[in-house]
Structure 1
Amino acid sequence: MVFSRGRGRGRHAQDGPADLESREQEVVPEPMIGPYDVADAPSGVRRLDLGSLRIPAIEGVEVRVQANPEGVIQQVVLANRGSALQLGVFAAPRTDGIWDEVRAEISESLRRDGASVQETAGEYGPELRATVRTPDGGHTELRFVGVDGPRWMVRGLFQGPAAVDPAAAGPLADALRGLVVDRGQEAKPVREPLPLRLPKELAEQAGGATAAPARPAADTGPG
């Protein structure tokens, strides 16, 4: 938890009634936003447990997963009102984040393919906005967001209205802020995707289908 420090006088200064009220407000918790590491995640939140990712239940957000017959997930997409957020989570070094170099590589790759790319400042720092050609000759807008955590990185790809206007992301942005990453303790190569799996009951329901909607389950703590 992050606290803000009051600008009061020394702790032994004589206080009047107004000073006492000021002292009560001296230390105020500041809200934190995710994605959270599993060790720091708020408790009492309903989340869908996909292994390395735990996705909060947000009203209006549909979770779509693409999985193989063994329940191993290849793709996670959140959808809301014509916008989508594709999520990926990757291993990172213990000390340095990797979003800067990943962002540069995404930008270079997009430009090579003829896309128009611009780096802008967003809620989590530098992000990319791109206009890319579609197979039918049209264009679509993309917005890439990256968040470096302790030994992990989350990459989000917004499409639809949320790619053009971050204010339109609404519930999708809330889902990203409430995301929890369970990196695990195993050593993994940098940039390797962290494992994602359907919960057992959902894997059985999917019955080998390549895609299935996912429902959040209760998750009362970070462990």
Structure 2
Amino acid sequence: MKWRRRNEPVEAEQAEDVAVPEEEDPQAVADRAARVAAEAEAERVRTAALAREARRRTQGPFDLTEISEEDAARPRVDLGALRLPAVQGMELRLELEEKTQRVIGAVVVLGPSTLQLQAFAAPRTDGIWEEGRAEIRAQVSRQGGASEDAEGVFGPEVLARVPVRTDDGRTGHRAVRFAGVDGPRWFVRAVFGGRAAVEREAAAPLEAMLRAVVVDRGDEAMAPRDMLPLRLPPQDQARPATGQPGQAQSDPGQPGQSQPGQSQPGQSQPGRPQPVEQQQTPGSGTGSPASPDGGDDGLGPLDPFHRGPETTETR
């Protein structure tokens, strides 16, 4: 064994073994940590999206290709890309583009609650709701409102309070709840209003209705965020069912003439179907699922915060 005094110099080959590595650049360390965090977040988002898709396939809303022949035969109001279950007491309002008169959205009124629906084309693999929520929050902020993310029955949602002008000229706030469902090459945006925006019990019937919606995407090539085409329902489907709430049944009754004051939104009268209302909306009708106000910033025309002039059509 070779002994070395404490102060004896270390030979070159031995010095290499005890050399201390240089300190790594702090910015490089921070960048690497940020990349790891971003990859972990992307994996979390991907895993959550897969879980939501698995749940959607079993609980709805469904793609037309996913339902059985028996389910396809159940009565639904056919609006083209959207097929809605008919529920007793519901009132259906169709949003029309003022210039072209094409249908660009549907609003279901059930008692003191509303459910607004639009359908959009989406990429084959990635969903668009993650990005859409950020756009909604930005839009609400520009309008002077407030919003927050929440976890709902359909996954991530946006809860918003938006300023509105009251009848006496004062400024108030209205609660709105945005939900979204990514499907195979389509996306459905749902906006809950009225009591359904703040009360879980009031929202339950409309949530059940949304789960029973069937989306007919079609085979036409469309750019992501293009609206899926909607249409007026056939004459024999333009009124809701007469069964129990939440059940889709056919209505054998004859259409009647709706008179002002004879029925309230969301209430059914024996022998009288609820009307289909056609609501005029200015704008081009193009845009994305984020739109609350129909601006020209790529956020679409359907306005969940405002109702324009309406004409009532009874079928």
TM-score range, shorter chain: 0.7 to 0.9
Moved more, 89-98 or 67-76: 67-76
Residue 44 of structure 1: how far off its partner (Å): 3.4
Classify 1:168/1:195 alpha carbon distance in 2 versus 1 (closer, same or farther; 3 Å). Answer: same
Residue 171 of structure 1: how far off its partner (Å): 2.1
What is aligned with 2:188?
154
2:78 equivalent among 36, 49, 66: 49
- TM-score (ref. length: structure 1): 0.74
Residue 61 of structure 1: how far off its partner (Å): 2.0
2:133 equivalent among 78, 103, 111: 103
Alignment: residue pair count: 184
Letter in 2 for 1:39: T
Identify the structure with the greater helix proportion: 2
What is aligned with 1:94?
124
- Separation in 2, partners of 1:35, 1:64: 20
Is 1:187 the counterpart of 2:221 in the alignment? yes
Residue 63 of structure 1: how far off its partner (Å): 1.5
Q: How large is the Cα RMSD of the aligned pairs? A: 2.8
Alignment map for 1:63-142 (pairs within 5 Å)? 63-67=92-96, 72-136=102-166, 137-142=171-176
Q: Which has the higher contact order (CA 8 A, sep 6+)?
A: 1
What is aligned with 2:62?
36
Please tell me whether Structure 1 or Structure 2 has the larger radius of gyration of its CA atoms: 2
User: Any idea what SS the aligned residue of 1:170 has?
Assistant: helix
Letter in 2 for 1:63: L
Identify the structure with the greater strand proportion: 1
Check the 8 A contact 1:79/1:172 in 2, yes or no: no
Check the 8 A contact 1:86/1:157 in 2, yes or no: yes
User: Any idea what SS the aligned residue of 2:58 has?
Assistant: coil
Classify 1:209/1:117 alpha carbon distance in 2 versus 1 (closer, same or farther; 3 Å). Answer: closer
Structure 1, gaps ≥5 residues long: 1-30, 216-223
- TM-score (ref. length: structure 2): 0.53
Alpha-carbon deviations, 1:26-60, whole Å to 9, x = none? xxxxx932110001123332100010000011223
What is aligned with 2:45?
none
Check the 8 A contact 2:83/2:213 in 1, yes or no: yes
Structure 2, gaps ≥5 residues long: 1-56, 237-254, 256-275, 281-310
User: Any idea what SS the aligned residue of 2:227 has?
Assistant: coil
